[in-house]
Chains A and B, each alone.
Chain A
Amino acid sequence: DIVVTQSPESLAVSLGERATINCKSSQSVLLGSTNKDYLAWYQQKPGQPPRLLIFWASTRAPGVPDRFSGSGSGTDFTLTITSLQAEDVAVYYCQEYYNVPFTFGPGTKVHL
């Protein structure tokens, strides 16, 4: 099974500042047949289900503000929130969907 790790566990960011979250998979999630990384990022606010933010490591899901961006390929990925807004306070998870089980990272709590 692919192991997915995230860092940091928790991140304090001031309003308007940048937040950077790292995600690492134990093996490559780049699918050769599509040349796409099967890595997604989700946002979860308290009492709510997760929301898909990014798929293919760097493509924003519909309706996601452009202050959210994903980067990386293979085994190392980053979620960046430029100019943090109050509504961005949440836990962020990465997930590989290259192979079952579709493992989630442990999450990163972003707070003010």
Chain B
Amino acid sequence: QVELVESGGGVVRPGGSLRLSCETSGFTFSRFAMHWVRQAPGKGLEWVAVTSFDGSNTYYADSVQGRFAISRDNSKNILYLQMNSVRAEDTAVYYCARYDSPPAGSRGLDSWGQGTLVTVSS
């Protein structure tokens, strides 16, 4: 079955860096666009970034543009989120999610990981 497992979260100081990973299995990773979505404690969902199936196209929320970088390794079936110059407001659970987009039309984020918590604090 489809499985997504995030890792790499933890406590990081403001201005610091962190790299999140999302290991996937159970599907052909290289055929799917992948997203990162975050959720601050007690708050709603915030879309963060997306990468196309081959990594050639990436898009970011304004709140992370220029500080975060999404990438993927299709040989290892792993999605990444490099977080630089982090701020207190980046504190959140970060989820990776698969984007189902068959020829008939995209179907949204159909599989999610359990999330990894990033806490930005001095």
By a beta-carbon cutoff of 8 Å, the part of chain A in contact with chain B is 31, 34, 36, 38, 40, 42, 44, 48-52, 55-56, 59, 61, 91, 93, 95, 97, 100-107
**Could you jot down 27 A-B contacts, CB within 8 Å?**
A38-B105, A38-B106, A40-B107, A40-B108, A40-B109, A42-B109, A49-B95, A49-B113, A50-B37, A50-B45, A50-B95, A51-B112, A52-B111, A55-B107, A55-B108, A55-B110, A56-B105, A61-B110, A93-B44, A93-B45, A95-B109, A100-B47, A100-B50, A101-B59, A102-B47, A104-B37, A105-B44
Assembly CA distance A98 to B114 (angstroms): 25
Given A95-B45, A105-B44, 16 other A-B contacts at CB below 8 A? A31-B105, A38-B108, A40-B109, A42-B109, A49-B115, A50-B112, A59-B107, A91-B44, A95-B47, A97-B106, A97-B108, A100-B50, A102-B47, A104-B44, A104-B46, A107-B45
Give, as a whole number of angstroms, the nearest-CB distance from A57 to chain B: 10
Q: Count of B residues near A, CB < 8 Å?
A: 25
